Amino acid sequence: MRYLTDRKRAVGLGAAKSGTGHHWSMQVSSIALIILVPLFVFTFGCILGAPYEEVVAYYSRPFPAIVAALTLWVGMVHFKNGAQMAIEDYVHGFTGRLTIILVTCLAYAIAATGVYAIAKLAL
């Protein structure tokens, strides 16, 4: 029979064992968005309201297409992580798990659709 203290039993066992990784993911994505959002605003703002042919020519250059795709992808991953954190705090049980699954699917569907549209426009 092993005699372990409460502290010894609890070391390394967080609630989900992923809190630190989730926190760092949110921090890194927020810093990336601090850089990407102004770049996106400046690259998208100059082409806003232009005819379709000019937009296609503009997004066929790599820099605006990459900035738009990265902003969309990182933004949706940040949204997914933030929504998951809020859902875990306020919605419990099966409903909470189902909501997290639906939000995750929604975020990845929006990101994939947007990146596909940018790639289709750029190529």
What does the pLDDT look like over 6-45, one tens digit per residue? 766 666 655 666 778 888 999 999 999 999 999 999 999 9
Q: Pull the structure tokens for residue 82.
A: 């933030």
Q: Does the global pTM surpass 0.85?
A: no
Phi, then psi, of 29 in degrees rounded to 5: -70, -35
May I ask the CATH architecture of the domain 17-122? Up-down Bundle (1.20)
pLDDT at position 98 is 97
For 46-59, give one letter per residue: b (16+ CB within 10 A) or e: eeeeeeeeebeebb
d(CA 92, CA 19): 17
Sign of CA dihedral 87, 90, 91, 93: positive
pLDDT at position 8 is 67
Residues contacting 11, CB < 8 A, separation 6+: none
Q: Which of 111, 100, 122 is nearest to 74 (CA)?
A: 111
Q: Pull the structure tokens for residue 95.
A: 């409903």
Q: Pull the structure tokens for residue 57.
A: 């020519």
